[in-house]
Amino acid sequence: MTSINTNNSAMAALQTLRTVNSNLESTQNRVSTGYRVDTASDNAAYWSIATTMRSDNKALSAVSDALGLGAAKVDTAYTAMDSAIDVVDEIKAKLVAATEDGVDKSKVQEEISQLQEQLMSIAQSASFSGENWVAGADGTVSVVSSFVRDGSGAVSVKMTDYALDTSSMGNVLFGMSGGSIETSTGILGTADANGDSVYSLDITDFTTGQIQSALSTVESALSAMTSAGAQLGSVSTRIELQEDFVSALSDSIDSGVGRLVDADMEEESSRLSALQTQQQLAIQSLSIANSSSQNILSLFRG
């Protein structure tokens, strides 16, 4: 039966066209954005997870920058310590030369004095971003090492600590107080039992026995500096390993989020072509369904 009031065929065709248009709009949005889950309405659970992980990844990016800053501080300190070791080696060589008979100790002392000033210059210059790890007061300096989210969802920032020790067998060249270097503390400034330190050493009037004692003081300083250099090297290695880990972790998070929300472009492309074809057919079906009502007019023509 054909009715001029109710066109069931047209309504069915129109409903199909609406469904196809809705699916086509959704597919076109996925193709244009590259996401199958772009808003919470697409998939609330996946969207929530992806949003949280993206936020964590931004924090990891900040950690990576902080690790780079920390690595620069450690590298600066290590370079200074390594240079200071070379200078103290030179002082040691001068002391050995001074033990020979007939050597003018005052001339040797002139050279040692220049080397001592070089040690001070190294200590003063070994500062990066306002921090000096080879000239400082007793205490702990830290660099950011990681951003952590535990099983309960609580977040925290972990630090890598490095304790500064101003004793003669510590890990700083000189101590510091009130922003000024204290030349009576640290590996180079702390005096031995004879009242001599590497920085204050003056062999002008030394006997051979006193020079031998000074050699022992210098050797102890070299041992402490070598140990300090090793500490800095281990911290540097840890930071490098953490940088590699943070980079790999960030890539893994990006990949994991992608699996949750990224659109399969090959699949979406095929679906888009199919829906465009369905749309054309639905429009054609609607046109046919509407034309059937027009055919009724021919029954009333004489």
Residue 278: both structure tokens together: 């369905």
Residue 52: both structure tokens together: 């949280």
Q: Are 40 and 48 in contact (CB under 8 A)?
A: yes
Q: 131-132 and 139-149 as β-strands: parallel, antiparallel, unpaired?
A: unpaired
What is d(CA 66, CA 230) in angstroms, rounded to the nearest whole number? Answer: 22
pLDDT tens, position by position, for the chain (302 residues)? 566 666 677 788 788 878 888 887 777 777 877 788 888 888 899 899 999 889 888 888 888 888 999 999 999 999 999 999 999 999 999 999 999 888 899 999 999 999 999 999 999 999 998 899 999 999 999 988 887 877 777 778 888 899 999 999 999 999 998 889 999 999 999 999 999 999 999 999 999 999 999 999 999 999 999 999 999 999 999 899 888 988 898 899 899 998 888 887 777 778 878 878 888 887 887 777 777 666 666 666 65
Secondary structure E strands in the chain: 127-128, 131-132, 139-149, 155-164, 175-177, 180-182
Chain segment 53-99, per-residue pLDDT in tens: 898 888 888 888 889 999 999 999 999 999 999 999 999 999 999 99
Residue 242: both structure tokens together: 């953490």
Choices 3.40.50.300, 1.20.1050.10, 1.20.1330.10, 2.40.40.20: CATH for 66-261: 1.20.1330.10
Quote the pTM value. 0.76
Cα 57 to chain centroid, rounded: 11
Of all residues in the chain, the percent with pLDDT exceeding 70 is 94
Beta bridge partners of 139: 164
